Structure 1
Amino acid sequence: MQTIHQSYRSMRLVLDLNWDRALYLATIAAALWAGSVIGSVLQ
């Protein structure tokens, strides 16, 4: 049980440290999508 608890805590730490990277990737994906929509409308 202690091993499960320790691995959960370490996984939570990794997620806490790296959540902003996921936000950056989502922002870049949204910007690329919006650019493609605007580009296809203007053609």
Structure 2
Amino acid sequence: MQAVMKSYKSLSLLVWLNWDRLFTAGTVVVGLLAGAFLGTALIAP
């Protein structure tokens, strides 16, 4: 149980330290998906 708690704490620390990178990557992915959706919506009649 202690090993699980330590790994959870270390994982949450990594997420806390890198949240801005995750946010940036998520924003890029959402932008690409929105562009693909608009591109197909404008081409298809």
TM-score bracket for the superposition, by shorter chain length: 0.5 to 0.7
When the two structures are superposed, what TM-score results if normalisation uses the length of structure 2?
0.65
Q: Which residue of 1 aligns with 2:18?
A: 18
Over 3 Å off, 4+ runs: 4-7
When the two structures are superposed, what TM-score results if normalisation uses the length of structure 1?
0.67
- Tell me the percent identity: 33
More helix by share: 1
Equivalences, count: 39
Pairwise CA distance, 1:13: 2.9
What is the alpha-carbon root mean square deviation over aligned residues? Answer: 1.7
